């Protein structure tokens, strides 16, 4: 069925991205709550039908690791894209801090310099493995079943729900849509693989418009970088600054690839258990050798030497995850509580 604006009741805003806002809506004919993303386009009406045709492929993107697509329509110079509502929001909002500016809610910040101040995200090796496994399966599905790359793998494009499911959204199925997006703000954190940065034109330092000069292994770099960011709680490269816009890109191209952070020496403070759940204390920031190896196979600078999806899925870290019960629903519930505590004003600025 085709969705249009008249069928929707607009509710609150869920978040803001680089290209527009995402709102919660109710689709009246089906009574389904949806997330509706508004993407402002540089107007070129001849492209609209082409874009809708290209987006049609999304109806075939049915996988437990991909956010479901319900339909898209145009109003004036915007495309509205309706998708499955994910009630936990993005992994960036749960685990990552913009620019690495981390501060804790007052109740927790009494011990400056403790391990907590560097990364308050309550995540352990088992949760990380489940996230990595879901993301890899989602990406492999896109490649094998739809023949597309994602092209924009990063923590803001990984959504979770209270059932504990982890799903990818925002993949680049439409080259025409990509070309038409009014880019007001290019992100200041690049997840592009070194070969994509090297292949893009210098006048668009951060915008990769060479749609063909790299392959699916570029997504695998971005996957590894996202896992590192989720584990650390912050983006691992220096921020792009006004004074030196190329510092970040040259660190990606010329510097050593990042990995999972070293294990914490200190054990977290007493008193955290009650707030964040018992398992948090025991397993805080101890990354297994398997996790470290898996990440290092994604973050290989030479594209041709990087792991494939088959290798990543057969890896012991992911195979251990397959055999294990992991309480992702419990983790999502705690992480949402943690994030919303921050949003209520006794915390810190977060991603949406
Ligand atoms: P970006 O441009 O940074 O990729 P988006 O525009 O895709 O960001 O989304 C902005 C924010 O809106 C997300 O970080 C997330 O918090 C929220 N959001 C996006 N899609 C959904 C969804 N399907 N369900 C719930 N929240 C969503």
pLDDT at 61 over 50: yes
- The single residue of 125, 152, 170, 219 carrying the catalytic annotation is 152
The answer on pLDDT for 101 being more than 70 is no
Q: 208 catalytic, yes or no? A: no
Regarding the beta carbon of 189 and ligand 1, being less than 6 Å apart is answered no
208 falls in which pLDDT band (50, 70, 90)? very low
The rounded Å distance from CA 86 to ligand 1 centre is 9
Q: Which atom of ligand 1 lies nearest, measured to the CA of 37?
A: 6
Residue nearest to atom 12 of ligand 1 (CA): 15
Question: pLDDT class for 110, splitting at 50, 70, 90?
Answer: very low
Q: Which atom of ligand 1 is nearest to the CA of 22?
A: 12
| Cα(19) to centroid(ligand 1), Å | 10
Is the per-residue pLDDT at 104 higher than 50?
A: no
Q: What is the pLDDT of residue 11?
A: 96
Most confident range, picked from 172-186, 198-212, 245-259: 245-259
For ligand 1, atom 7: residue with the closest CA: 17
Higher pLDDT, residue 207 or 234: 234
Please report the pLDDT score of residue 45 as a whole number.
Answer: 67
Is the pLDDT at 137 greater than 70, yes or no?
A: yes
Nearest to 83 by CA among 65, 71, 91, 74: 71
- pLDDT digit string, tens, across residues 269-297: 444 444 444 444 444 568 999 999 999 99
Which alpha helices (DSSP H) does the chain contain, by range? 48-55, 91-95, 115-118, 125-141, 175-180, 194-199, 217-232, 247-254, 272-276, 278-283, 289-298, 309-314, 316-322, 328-341
- Which atom number of ligand 1 is nearest to the Cα of residue 187? 3
Q: Which residues of 318-339 are buried (b: 16+ CB within 10 A; e: fewer)?
A: bebbeeeebebeebbebbbebb
DSSP three-state, residue 33:
strand
- What's the pLDDT at 298? 98
Mean pLDDT of 160-169: 97
Over the stretch 80-96, which tens digit does the pLDDT of each residue have? 999 999 999 999 989 88
């Amino acid at each position: 069925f085709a969705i249009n604006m008249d069928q929707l009741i607009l509710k609150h805003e869920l978040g803001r991205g680089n290209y527009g806002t995402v709102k919660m809506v109710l689709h009246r004919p089906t009574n389904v709550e949806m997330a509706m993303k508004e993407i402002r386009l540089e107007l070129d009406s001849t492209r609209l039908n082409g874009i809708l045709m290209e987006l049609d492929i999304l109806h075939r993107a049915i996988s437990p690791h991909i956010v479901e697509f319900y339909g898209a329509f145009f109003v004036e110079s915007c495309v509205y894209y309706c998708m499955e509502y994910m009630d936990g929001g993005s992994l960036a909002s749960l685990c990552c801090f913009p620019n690495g500016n981390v501060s804790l809610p007052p109740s927790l910040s009494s011990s400056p310099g403790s391990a907590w101040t560097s990364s308050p995200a309550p995540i352990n090796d088992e949760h990380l493995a489940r996230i990595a496994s879901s993301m890899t399966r989602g990406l492999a599905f896109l490649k094998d079943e739809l023949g597309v790359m994602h092209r924009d793998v990063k923590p803001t494009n990984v959504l979770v729900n209270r059932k504990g499911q982890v799903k990818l959204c925002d993949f680049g199925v439409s080259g025409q849509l990509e070309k038409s997006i009014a880019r007001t703000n290019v992100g200041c954190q690049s997840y592009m693989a070194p070969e994509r940065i090297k292949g893009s034109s210098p006048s668009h330092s951060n915008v990769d418009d060479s749609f063909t000069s790299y392959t699916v292994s570029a997504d695998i770099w971005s996957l590894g970088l996202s896992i590192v960011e989720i584990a650390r709680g912050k983006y691992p490269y220096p921020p792009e600054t006004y004074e030196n816009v190329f510092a970040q890109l040259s660190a990606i191209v010329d510097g050593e690839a990042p990995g999972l952070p070293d294990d914490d020496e200190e054990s977290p403070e007493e008193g955290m258990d009650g707030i964040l759940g018992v398992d948090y204390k025991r397993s805080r920031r101890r990354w297994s050798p398997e996790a470290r190896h898996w990440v290092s196979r994604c973050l290989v600078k030479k594209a041709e030497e990087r792991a494939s999806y088959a290798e990543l899925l057969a890896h012991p870290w992911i195979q251990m995850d397959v055999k294990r019960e992991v309480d992702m629903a419990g983790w999502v519930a705690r992480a949402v509580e943690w994030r919303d505590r921050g949003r209520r004003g006794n915390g810190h600025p977060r991603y949406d």
